[in-house]
Amino acid sequence: MPQIEHISLKQLKLLEKNPRKIDKMQFEKLCRSIEQDPDFFNDRPCLVNRIGDQLIVYAGNQRYRAAKKLGWKTVPCIIEQITEETQKRRVVQDNIHQGEFDYDMLSSLYEVGELIELGFTEEQLSIVSISEDVEQVAETEENTEESSQKEEIICPKCHHSFIK
């Protein structure tokens, strides 16, 4: 079982490319929750990846921010050394249950197929399929057999297009 350590907020760095965000009301609710039951934070500690001499919080960024706002000096953490791919996967898995995602960041960091494998649905991603347009293009002589098997989808929120 992983060991929980209480690490100084000053020693921790937040993951810059964290695609999840919460609004002010959700943040205030999180602060109240931590304030009312601080021991629960030990059950959901920050997950920290040791990269060289840096301690990067990749899961628990909002809990870190709430603890900082509440004046805490340390937060419970599980420190690991994991690959960037494992960290990237866990960032989504840890956050898929609530909050909002920065769809621009998601589209720049992940393929649609990856997000669906991690638990998103097309509805959650607000993706509209435009496969009919792709099929028409694929029927032209200029396209190869391989490109006719691809489906282009566009996110109506951020307007990024993905090939599925």
Q: What is the pLDDT of residue 51?
A: 94
Average pLDDT per block of 10 residues along the chain, 164 residues long: 93 88 88 92 94 95 96 97 92 71 76 75 60 42 50 62 62
Angle between helical axes of 24-36 and 61-69 (0-180°, round to 10): 70
Give the H/E segment covering residue 30.
helix 24-36
Residue 60, sorted as left (phi over 0), alpha (psi -120 to 50) or beta, turns out to be: left
Q: Cite the residue boundaries of each domain of the chain with CATH code 3.90.1530.10.
A: 5-101
Q: What is the pLDDT of residue 118?
A: 67
User: What's the predicted TM-score (pTM) here?
Assistant: 0.62
The CATH architecture annotation of domain 5-101 reads Alpha-Beta Complex (3.90)
